[in-house]
Amino acid sequence: MSRLCLILFGPPGSGKGTQAKLLRQSLAVPHISTGDMLRERMEHLDELGSQVAEMLRSGGLVPDETVNVMVEDRIAQPDCGKGFILDGYPRTVNQAAILSGLLESHNVAATLVYLKVDYNVIMARLAGRRQCPACGTLFSHSAGAPTGPEVCDHDGAQLVIREDDRQEVVAERLKAYHRQTAPVLEYFKSAGVPVWEVDGASPEGPQGIARRVRSLIEEKLVS
Ligand code: ADP
């Protein structure tokens, strides 16, 4: 198989992060989450850190230039030599165009996995989502429910609501998705990038969805 760039695409709460974590193990390639990178970046007490923190709190998107540079640096790292999984990027048509150029220069072909999930399911998932402040794991009622009512399975820390999962911020994130991110799908389709539509709310759960993606990879990419 040639170098793989798997783009996990879908609305907030569609399970991109969960799938990326499952797939990175079996595919043995790094998981690049711009959301995680930005949450790390906002811990820096400089001007960019506070700009990023403000954008994340509002539910809007961070400027393209900021994320494009982060991704460009990240995919040039040696651990991306066999390929990588993108989660939360590209999120605008401009980011998609920049990524296409980068992939061309690295000689990597992209495949996009679209995790399709109903609006009502998304709302219910995001409303029930809790995060472990210690290890960052996300828990919801529908997937990976913790054993205790409000504590993390891994380290017993008290779970919290991620700041951008508050109801008013969720509405902004969904608006940003429909306005700015949804057109990215058309962009890639017209560019001839393979787009695999997968049921992101499959009754088989996250493991079943990851199996489906792996079998598509076997079937279509491994020759
Ligand atoms: P979700 O996919 O559930 O919205 P993420 O962790 O991917 O969560 O993103 C959280 C926030 O980080 C977004 O609401 C946005 O403000 C910012 N962000 C993440 N990725 C990008 C990106 N590619 N471009 C611009 N902003 C981004």
**Cα 188 to averaged position of ligand 1 atoms, centre (Å):** 19
- Could you tell me the two tokens for 180? 């700015």
Question: What residue has token string 């989450």?
Answer: 33
**Calculated CA dihedral for residues 139, 199, 27, 173, nearest 10 degrees:** -50
Could you say which DSSP state residue 186 is in?
H
Q: Tell me what pLDDT residue 171 has.
A: 87
Taking residues 36-49, what's their average pLDDT? 94
CA 161 to chain centre: 18
Structure confidence by residue, pLDDT tens digits, 92-108: 999 999 999 999 999 89
Confidence of residue 117 (pLDDT cuts 50, 70, 90): very high
Instruction: Spot the catalytic one: 41, 125, 130, 173.
Output: 173
For the question of residue 162 being annotated catalytic, the response is yes
* Domain map (residue ranges) of the chain: 4-222
**Cα 2 to averaged position of ligand 1 atoms, centre (Å):** 28
For the question of residue 129 being annotated catalytic, the response is yes
The fold of 4-222 is Rossmann fold (3.40.50)
For the question of residue 173 being annotated catalytic, the response is yes
